[in-house]
Amino acid sequence: GAGVSQSPSNKVTEKGKDVELRCDPISGHTALYWYRQSLGQGLEFLIYFQGNSAPDKSGLPSDRFSAERTGGSVSTLTIQRTQQEDSAVYLCASSSAGTGTDTQYFGPGTRLTVL
């Protein structure tokens, strides 16, 4: 079946602009995660959604970052007033349950470059 999809694959923006990154999880997966992969910080957890529960936003690096998940499926990660340090690959993952032993399956990522 179809895996996790993300769009756009690449995004180049100017410092100070807002960007939106989209994630479509695997159909039927209730849990959705965002991670960030950067040269200096490696792979970092950003945010977690599980069903209709309140998301865990503990990994978001600043209040410029926000995310939502509509209808328990598609998620959008928004970065406001982008900074150069936001340049990274943003990875989305989904899993069947979000707890226990389930496996997180990752999308291809969105490479964000802030000029």
Partner 1 sequence: AQSVAQPEDQVNVAEGNPLTVKCTYSVSGNPYLFWYVQYPNRGLQFLLKYITGDNLVKGSYGFEAEFNKSQTSFHLKKPSALVSDSALYFCAVRVPNDYKLSFGAGTTVTVRA
Q: Where does residue 66 rank: exposed (0-12), middle (13-18), buried (19+ CB within 10 A)?
A: middle
Whose CA is closest to 18, among 72, 68, 75, 82? 82
Residues that bind partner 1 (rule: CB under 8 A) add up to a total of: 27
Which lies closer to partner 1 via its Cβ, residue 48 or residue 65?
48
Q: What is the identity of the amino acid at 29?
A: H
Q: Binding pattern to partner 1, positions 56-85, x when CB under 8 A?
A: x--x--------------------------
Omega within 30 of 0 (cis) for the link into 55: no
Q: Which residues bind partner 1 (CB under 8 A)?
A: 4, 6, 31, 33, 35, 42-43, 45, 48, 50, 56, 59, 91, 93, 95, 98-101, 103-109, 111
